[in-house]
Amino acid sequence: MNKKIIETLKKEITNLKNIIDSKETDVERLDSINKEHKKLNGRLRLEIEELNGSWKKYNETRNKLKKKEADKLMIEKIKKYEKKIRRLKNDAKDLLNYP
């Protein structure tokens, strides 16, 4: 009877050792996964910072182009009104010179 109990206990101890070993392996894998996750997270942050910087440069460039386009349109309008003003001045001179 004692031998059976001892054998059963030995089997239980072996089973418990196996469980402990598998848990230790799981913990090691989790540590490895956690480290890899931290590395990937760091790379992702760097890429996000780069993208934000690129987006900022893109917006600045776009705004400059918009401003140039707006300036160009404004200059065209000014030239158009300048021509009208010259015409009106010439018409006024002609009217004043009319006998």
Predicted pLDDT of residue 98? 67
Report the pLDDT value the prediction gives residue 65, as an integer from 0 to 100.
85
Q: For 62-71, what is the mean pLDDT?
A: 86
Q: Which two tokens stand for residue 19?
A: 């469980």
Lookup: tokens for 59: 């917006």
Give the span between the Cα atoms of 23 and 34, in whole angstroms: 16
Across the chain, what does the average pLDDT equal? 86
Q: Which pLDDT value is given to residue 90? A: 86
Q: What is the pLDDT of residue 99?
A: 62
Q: Please tell me the distance from the alpha carbon of residue 74 to that of residue 79, in angstroms, as a whole number.
A: 9
Spatial distance between the Cα atoms of 66 and 74, rounded to a whole number of angstroms:
12
pLDDT tens digits, 87-99: 888 888 877 776 6
What does DSSP assign to residue 1?
Answer: -
3-state secondary structure of 65: helix
